[in-house]
Structure formats: structure tokens, C-alpha cells
Amino acid sequence: MTKKKKRSNGGKGLGAREIFPAAEMDFDDERMSRNRRSLKFSKGLHKSSAPDEDADYADDYTDYGEGGYADAPSGPFVVNSLMEGEAVKEQVENNACWGLASAVDLYGCDPDLIRDADAIKRFVVELCDLIEMKRFGETQVVHFGEDERVAGFSMVQLIETSLISAHFANASNAVYLDVFSCKAYNPYLVRQFAVNYFKGGDSSLQVSMRR
């Protein structure tokens, strides 16, 4: 079995092995290939040369020619596992789109954490280290909302490849997190890190390929 090595984050926050069971960190080529073929969004996202006619994924290949990813499907779609997240990351690395946008909704979060501006700033630092994004400037965390139904902290962090933002809803103890980057990353890793950090209950993840 050939494993893809995960680069260390240099001790800055939790790494992927602290978030996921060891079994989920084994990325052998056969499983990755099977996983890519099973993804609903895989059709049409291959920009490399066309596969051999007898390749078992040949039916899923679409040649977009000079238009490249401009004509490829973009989502939104659901990513249900770390393995699917790695397949998404690989598609972005292979120029399937201009950038990747992930919308993570967390429910039943720790009320103290989502009301703590310093804890939110630490979350941003550790998340950026984990998914290897370079922060640009300081994290902005400001409390908004005259209406108690939507009141809470809002966070914005510029990164060199785009933006991370979130709103923290006091009334429902929910977190609405968005990560957009033209640099590839694993969106499922973002979801699980956020769930663990804010001690969330239910959560959802939707991903879009921005063309």
C-alpha cells in the first residue's frame, strides 16, 4: 500500500491525525481512483489528456477543449468523507476550476467558544496552518446584530489565495463558515476541524468549483 504523506503543520494547532482515525489517513492509489470515479461531480472535470478507451472511467471523461474548466460542472455538491475531500483537492490541483468554495454549517456549538473573540482568532490561525493557507493581515472579529435572532461575532480573514469568513449566531449556537481559495485544500478537513474546535453537533458541508 502506498501512502501519501501529510505535511506537518509544525506544531501549530491540530494536525489531520489528531482529527481523524488512522485508518482514514491511508490513501492508496486504488482507493483514491475508485473514490474519484464515484464522485457525482467527477464527470467533466478532467483537463488532462483523454483516457484510453478501455479505461474503466472513460465514460466519465469530457473534453472541454480550449474552453477548459469554463464549461465544466461546478456544483454545489456534498463531500461526505476525508477521501472524497482528497479527490476534490486533487481536481483543483489539476486545474479543474479557478477556485474552491466550501460552506460549512455547524449546529449545537459550545456557547462559550463562539462568544469568545480570542478563541475565534485561534481557530483561524490553526485552520490556516492545517490547510496550509497563508494569512494576510490580522483576523477581524466584530460583534454585529441589533436583532438578537442573528446577533453574534462575524469573522473575516484575508488569505493570499482569497478569503475565510464566518458568522457565529448566539441565539442558535450555530457557526456559518466559508472558505474560498484558488489554492487546493481538503474541504472535509475544514469541516471536521471546525466541528472538533467548536464542539459542534450536527454539521453540513457544501462545496462549489468556482470557474
Per-residue pLDDT, averaged over 2-19, amounts to 42
d(CA 40, CA 105) in angstroms, rounded, equals 21
Model-wide pTM > 0.85: no
* CA dist 165 → 30, 33, 136, 140, 187 (Å): 36, 32, 13, 9, 14
For residue 76, say if its preceding peptide bond is cis, omega within 30 degrees of 0: yes
d(CA 62, CA 60) in angstroms, rounded, equals 7
Which one is the CATH code of 12-211: 3.40.630.30, 3.20.20.80, 2.30.30.100, 3.60.90.10?
Answer: 3.60.90.10
d(CA 81, CA 26) in angstroms, rounded, equals 13
- Residue 46: pLDDT above 50? no
Residue 155: the pLDDT is 98
Residue 164: the pLDDT is 98
Q: What percent of the chain has pLDDT over 90?
A: 55
Per-residue pLDDT, averaged over 142-169, amounts to 93
